[in-house]
Amino acid sequence: MSIKYLVVDDEPIAHRIIEGYCKDLPHLELAGHCYNAFEAMQFLNQHHVDLMFLDINMPKLKGFEFLKTLQNPPKVVVTTAYKEFALEGYELNVADYLLKPFSFERFVAAVNKAITHPQINTFSVTTDPDPKDKRLFLKGDKKYHQVALSDILYIEAYGNYTKVHLSKEMIITHEKVSSYEDMLPSENFIRVHKSFIVAVDKINLIEGNQIKIEDHSIPIGQTYRINVNKLLS
């Protein structure tokens, strides 16, 4: 399942940078380019868009004012040179706020946030796609791996790195376990130890202070026992 994205920015160079980054992320599909808010309004009325990269300092109608007019907006990543509007962006429930110029690594992090970001905002409440359809881009071995959330068994701290254990492989990434805790949907993944997050639907057995997932044993930390007890209640 591809994610269709729209770039809304009055600067052509911004379009080129974003499109160039997206070409390295195979799950993203370009839906279109808009150079002001009015073009974007018309485009969204005629096309389906999953993700919008939105500049806020545009002529005639600013990005946030445009966003407030949308009844059912796509997920939004703000791209701007102005950090002072970040609070307003989060009040409008944008997935992330990118300050120009931004690196490819920071861009990928924003896309990951958007993919897992709940589609709940001040304008409307819509049902988010089934978690099994969601995907992340994980950096490992100097490559970006596209991973379905449904393939993740558990996540394990590994020194300054993190091991993401999948159904058929394991990827070592530079993200911290706490970053995954923030990124992954809490109804599908729970932290059970300072070093472990597990996929709820992959748990085979809970016995004492151990969780069994396939042939793996994951410890339950005392601090995180309450998370496990919520599953059992």
Show the tokens assigned to 79: 């791209």
* Model confidence pLDDT, tens digit, residues 70-84: 888 899 999 988 887
The terminus-to-terminus CA distance of the chain in angstroms comes to 35
Residue 7: CB atoms within 10 Å: 24
Judge residue 193's burial from the number of C-beta atoms within 10 Å of its C-beta, 0-12 exposed, 13-18 middle, 19 or more buried.
buried
Question: For the chain, where do the domains classified as CATH 2.40.50.1020 start and end?
Answer: 133-232
What stretch of H or E contains 182?
helix 177-183
Nearest to 203 by CA among 189, 185, 193: 189
Please determine, for residue 88, whether its predicted confidence score (pLDDT) is greater than 80.
no
- Mean pLDDT (the chain) is 86
Which range (110-124, 166-180, 196-210) has the least confidence?
110-124
**Backbone phi, psi, residue 128, to 5°:** -75, 150
Which top CATH class is 3-116?
A: alpha beta
pLDDT of residue 187: 87
Show the tokens assigned to 119: 């589609």
pLDDT of residue 102: 93
Q: How far is CA 220 from CA 105, 153, 190, in A?
A: 32, 15, 11
Kindly give the interhelix angle for 104-116 and 12-23, rounded to the nearest 10 degrees.
80
pLDDT of residue 60: 83
CA atoms of 198 and 113, how far apart (whole Å): 19
Question: For the chain, where do the domains classified as CATH 3.40.50.2300 start and end?
Answer: 3-116
pLDDT of residue 130: 52
The type of residue at 106 is R
pLDDT of residue 200: 94
Which range (39-43, 133-137, 182-186) has the least confidence?
133-137
CATH 2.40.110.10 fits domain 133-232: no
Please determine, for residue 85, whether its predicted confidence score (pLDDT) is greater than 80.
no
CA atoms of 82 and 216, how far apart (whole Å): 47
* Model confidence pLDDT, tens digit, residues 97-154: 999 999 999 999 899 888 876 543 322 223 344 544 577 888 877 778 888 889 999 9
CA atoms of 32 and 50, how far apart (whole Å): 12
